């Protein structure tokens, strides 16, 4: 998840979440793995990026995670 735009107004959190879930789905369907290790680059990450994550978005992320486990 590197190359994050340093300006939080240009970041769409739903797009980042969608990208992460799509990569995870491809890995589960097409690759054999026993575990995953995610490496994240927080070089351009600021408090403004955290403020873009809202409570309804957190709820959607939780629902997606729980549904994918079933």
Q: Structural domain boundaries of the chain?
A: 8-69
- Where are the strands (E) in 1-70, listed by range? none
pTM here is 0.67
1, 41 in Cβ contact below 8 A? yes
Give the mean model confidence (pLDDT) for residues 51-69. Answer: 83
Q: Which tokens is 27 given?
A: 């890995």
Report which of 15, 9, 58 is spatially closest to residue 1, judged by C-alpha positions: 15
Structure confidence at residue 70 as a pLDDT band (50, 70, 90): low
Report which of 20, 14, 24, 9 is spatially closest to residue 57, judged by C-alpha positions: 14
Instruction: Please give the residue that has the higher pLDDT: either 70 or 54.
Output: 54
């Amino acid at each position: 998840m590197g190359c994050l735009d340093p300006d939080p107004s240009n970041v769409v959190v739903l797009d980042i979440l969608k990208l992460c879930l799509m990569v995870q789905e491809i890995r589960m369907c097409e690759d054999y793995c026993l575990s995953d290790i995610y490496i994240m680059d927080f070089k351009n990450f600021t408090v403004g990026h955290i403020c873009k994550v809202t409570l309804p978005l957190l709820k959607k992320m939780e629902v997606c995670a729980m549904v994918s486990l079933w």
